[in-house]
Amino acid sequence: MKKNLLLIALFLSSSFCFTQNALIQNAYNRTTTSLNGDWKYIIDPYENGYYNYRYEPFDQQPNPWASAFFLNSKPKDSTDLIEYDFDKMESLKVPGDWNSQKPELLYYEGTVWYKKSFDYAGAKKGNRQFVYFEASNYKTEVYFNGRKLGTHVGGFTPFNYDITTLIKEKDNFLVVKVDNKRLKEGIPTLNTDWWNYGGLTRDVKIIETPLSFIEDYFIQLHPQNNKKIKGYVQLRGKYISKQKVQINIPKLGIKKQLESDQKGKVEFEIKTNKIKYWSLENPYLYDVTIETTEDRITDQIGFRTIETKGTKILLNGKSIYLKGISIHEENPIRGGRGHSEADAQQLLDWAKELGCNYVRLAHYPHNEHMVRLADKMGILVWEENPVYWTIDWTNPATYQNAENQLSELISRDKNRASVIIWSMANETPNSPPRNEFLSKLARFAKANDPTRLISAALEQKDYQGNPNVRTIDDPFAEVVDVLSFNQYIGWYDGLPEKCKTITWKIQQNKPVLISEFGAGAKQGLHGSKAARWTEEYQAHLYEQTVQMLNKIEAVRGMSPWILVDFRSPRRVLPEIQDGWNRKGLISDEGVKKKAFFVLRGFYEGK
């Protein structure tokens, strides 16, 4: 135990640490200044801009050399030796990954330094400024005007830093070191089946707030009483004790006056009999405003209940069938990591066209546009922490990393009605350390958000040694609210006809979601339904699989793998894969395959 605590202490005290500033809620609707656009960059595979020749970090030295890239140094005269110059370098677009922008960086994994210079003349006197990153993959060191702000670990969640005392009207520079090297102790770990896009992959902005401001809030239906709205507001700043806080929901006639406690927190329950519940048919969102004497913020929040009862999933008390699809965060037309609202809209429009009322965002948190649009479109969402395959289960720092990423995801999206499932992991092998790791994560999720369901893609095996009968055999099944598993009968396990021979015996009295199934197909390749990689084979497998899965009594939905072909370095078969996972129902050029219409027909009948 002492050894574990020491490891955690060393981890947290090192440069490999997490966000120092608490995450600001609802960056989406706040007063912001975009830092998107062209950023100068330097490729630094040996990290010579970070370490001296003794391999000591420059940012931990009392008098760092001018060679340190974060200083953005310029020669004082012709005798001064400085071996870099950001302003003479080429540019990368932010947001965006470096892999799809520069051909020479397609497979690059390592350090790239970014630099953005800007003026900031519009600050209101007495206000605070924070630099906010929607995501950066994977380990990010942030420096502002030559001062280190901190380090963030994790490629898909937001983080922010207070720059109030450092920002100037003229000549600010933000330098960011982004390192996307895969790590055995990382989340995710070394081996994944998707492209390791590096860089400042989502928006970067400055958030301006009053001196004392609304930092966080959680406003949802009471999990045990759908006639009550329950939540909290957290203030931050110098004067946050005994402050007046007002909650306004005009369409419900709510105007509640409250007072913060000594720590700037307000907790409340508000009764109302007039709630129009958010639903698939009517995804109604209320304008919710929170006001203090200094700050005011508005959000668009839907109110709904989600729960399980036996093998049913109940939305607002009514049983639902989740007609879904899995999605990776890629733009198949432009290429690269998706990041814009238009990217998210395209993917969700295709899901709607497929007949979906539900999407599984795999295998990591997607950008905020996805869940904001799902709120408006009436699409339910599974969000996933990137605990994937073979995590370093016994490493305390790895667990802390996973918990931190989950915390940042929950913090960002806890007010989104569309989000109904927090997934703890995908296809992780059963072992006592893994079970302890995931159970601890699940307890953390429930403690921070008791209003949503917990799931994971679980392990399965033959039932009592019979290869024709399958079952869920996973201790974590006792922890989750919804049982989920991935199965690839007909692709990795036999041929499509095998689906006719397989039955399932689910012993737990819980709803089941089939989190993945599918087959690869090269769009435009036609032939026999028995020939792999043809559209006909993929369509035939879908026909056989949905018939097989439809016989499982507890099944309450599915999210086949996957909406669109996506890049993966694991997929190297020439003339078929060429670096793409071809299990998409839509090609990387946006063309629908035959299986798309098979699944749509099945969903139309549900």
Mean residue pLDDT of the chain comes to 94
- pLDDT at residue 339 tops 90: yes
Provide the 10 A C-beta neighbour count for residue 590. 14
Per cent of the chain over pLDDT 90 is: 92
Q: Write the DSSP symbol of residue 124.
A: P
Averaged pLDDT, 543-558: 96
- pLDDT at residue 5 tops 70: no
For domain 319-604, the CATH architecture is Alpha-Beta Barrel (3.20)
Q: Give the C-alpha separation, 209 to 311, whole Å.
A: 46
Distance set, CA 135 to CA 114, 132, 154, 405 (Å): 14, 9, 8, 11
The pLDDT of residue 122? 79
Residue with tokens 């574990």: 4
- Span 477-502, pLDDT tens digits: 999 999 999 999 999 999 999 999 99
The pLDDT of residue 6? 32
- pLDDT at residue 2 tops 70: no
Q: State phi, psi for 142 to the nearest 5 degrees.
A: -115, 130
- Span 310-332, pLDDT tens digits: 999 999 999 999 999 999 999 98
- pLDDT at residue 243 tops 70: yes
Kindly indicate the confidence band of residue 65, based on its pLDDT and cuts at 50, 70 and 90.
confident
Beta bridge partners of 219: 231
Asked whether the beta carbons of 367 and 338 are under 8 A apart, the reply is yes
Nearest to 191, CA basis, from 472, 389, 424: 389
Q: Give the C-alpha separation, 353 to 349, whole Å.
A: 6
Q: Give the C-alpha separation, 405 to 78, whole Å.
A: 47
Q: Give the C-alpha separation, 407 to 388, whole Å.
A: 17
Q: Which helix (H) or strand (E) holds 604?
A: helix 594-604
- Span 248-259, pLDDT tens digits: 999 999 999 999
C-alpha R_g of the chain = 25
For the chain, domain boundaries: 17-209, 213-294, 319-604
Tokens of 584: 């998409």
Domain 17-209 classification at class level: mainly beta
The pLDDT of residue 20? 54
Q: Give the C-alpha separation, 169 to 172, whole Å.
A: 8
**Following DSSP, what letter does each residue of 217-271 receive, concatenated?**
EEEEEETTEEEEEEEEEEEESSS-TT-EEEEEEGGGTEEEEEE--TTSEEEEEEE
For the ranges 30-44, 115-129, 339-353, 504-518, which has the lowest average pLDDT? Answer: 115-129
Q: Give the C-alpha separation, 531 to 538, whole Å.
A: 9
Q: Give the C-alpha separation, 273 to 226, whole Å.
A: 9
- pLDDT at residue 8 tops 60: no
Q: Which helix (H) or strand (E) holds 402?
A: helix 396-413
- Span 87-127, pLDDT tens digits: 999 999 999 999 999 999 999 999 999 999 999 997 888 89
Tokens of 85: 């110059």
- Span 216-241, pLDDT tens digits: 999 999 989 999 999 999 999 988 99
Q: Write the DSSP symbol of residue 590.
A: S
Residue with tokens 């994944």: 192
Asked whether the beta carbons of 142 and 148 are under 8 A apart, the reply is yes
Kindly indicate the confidence band of residue 16, based on its pLDDT and cuts at 50, 70 and 90.
very low
Beta bridge partners of 388: 426
- Span 371-419, pLDDT tens digits: 999 999 999 999 999 999 999 999 999 999 999 999 999 999 999 999 9
How long a stretch of residues is the chain?
A: 606
Provide the 10 A C-beta neighbour count for residue 55. 8
CATH match for 213-294 among 1.10.3120, 2.60.40, 1.20.1250, 2.60.120: 2.60.40
Residue with tokens 């009471």: 222
Q: Write the DSSP symbol of residue 489.
A: B
Kindly indicate the confidence band of residue 176, based on its pLDDT and cuts at 50, 70 and 90.
very high
602 sits in the region (left: phi over 0; alpha: psi -120 to 50; else beta) called alpha
Distance set, CA 369 to CA 65, 146, 309, 329, 411 (Å): 41, 32, 31, 11, 15
The pLDDT of residue 123? 83
Q: Which helix (H) or strand (E) holds 161?
A: strand 159-162
- For residue 95, say if its preceding peptide bond is cis, omega within 30 degrees of 0: yes
**Ordered alpha helix ranges (H), 414-534:** 432-448
**Ordered alpha helix ranges (H), 426-516:** 432-448
The pLDDT of residue 606? 86
